[in-house]
Amino acid sequence: MEIRPLSDALRKRAREEINENPETLVSNFNELREWLNEHPQLKSEIISDQWLVAFLRGSKHNLEKCKSKIERYYTLSTAAPELYANRDPLDPQIQELLKLGLFLPLKKCASEDSPRIVLVRMGELNKVHGRLSDICKIGFMIAEILLLEDDNFTICGEELVSDLKDTGFGLIRQWTPAYARKLFMCFENALTIRMTRINVLNAPIGMKTAVAIFKLFLKEKLKKRIYVYNEDYEEMFKYIPKSLLPKEYGGTEGTLQDLTDHWKNKVESYRSWYLRENLKD
């Protein structure tokens, strides 16, 4: 098993939160790899050790749950074709979306064992008359990179900062219960993403219905972890240090353009991954 070693802080967090210790990790990994070898339709020959461990961690080392998540992941092209058709980063449409900076994981975490904070800027879609599914597709592409590269993300989870500035009614009305159900099925049941906190900025008038739909699919614990700040960034800074945020949000960690360029380049560097992992094959 070839995976990154964890820091002491992350190793402790993994033991306390996702039931991981060196012995169970090796044992569960070996059993899962054996199961995969018996299911060639799941492309077991191209699944890396680090990818497999991300699924184990996202399932808190529950093997049966992990197997179900892997099976769901490889059927997403049927369940959500709008999210998995055409994922070539060099395609002109994908390039246009990447340049907008729609889904931007921050470069630093609050501490060595803190969740990865991700900034989502839905309103930017209006610049290209995009659809809600566009931001979800980019989000899924970048989330896969995080599953492969980011131990804070797979062990500590994700903290969302959703900026709704300039979102507009056209995008909000696409957020139907049916689409929300599909999206949560993909994120939580197939990609093993653990949301720890949701911070909402610049919510437009009339957002209550969209938030109500959103809450329908959240676990009770997470429903209590939705915080709306609108433009009161000072209140948000009590929980998210300025040193993590780009200057456009009152922070000191570079600019939005820096972050956008970073993730555009990162996604492009994974082109072979996306083409190989084409779920429609």
Q: Each residue of 200-253: pLDDT tens digit? A: 888 776 666 666 666 666 667 777 778 887 677 888 898 999 999 999 999 999
Judge whether 71 and 32 are in contact, CB under 8 Å. Answer: no
Return the biggest CA–CA distance within the chain: 54
Return the pLDDT at 76: 76
Q: What is the DSSP letter of 278?
A: -
Q: Each residue of 156-181: pLDDT tens digit? A: 999 999 998 888 777 777 777 777 77
Q: In whole angstroms, give the CA distance from residue 60 to residue 150.
A: 16
The CATH homologous superfamily of the domain defined by 81-272 = CRAL-TRIO lipid binding domain (3.40.525.10)
Judge whether 94 and 88 are in contact, CB under 8 Å. Answer: yes
What average pLDDT does the chain have? 87
3-state SS record for 222-247: HHCCEEECCCCHHHHCCCCCHHHCCH
Residue with tokens 């184990």, as numbered in its chain: 56
Torsion angle of the four alpha carbons 259, 261, 266, 271, in this order, in degrees rounded to the nearest 10: 140
Q: Is residue 124 exposed (0-12), middle (13-18) or buried (19+ Cβ within 10 Å)?
A: buried
Return the pLDDT at 74: 81
Q: Each residue of 76-90: pLDDT tens digit? A: 767 778 888 889 999
In this structure, what token pair is assigned to residue 115? Answer: 């969740």
Domain assignments of the chain as residue spans, ordered by start = 8-75, 81-272
Tell me which residue of 10, 24, 114 sits closest to 61, measured CA to CA: 24
pLDDT(277) > 80: no
Return the pLDDT at 78: 73
Q: What's the mean pLDDT in 178-192?
A: 73
pLDDT(262) > 80: yes
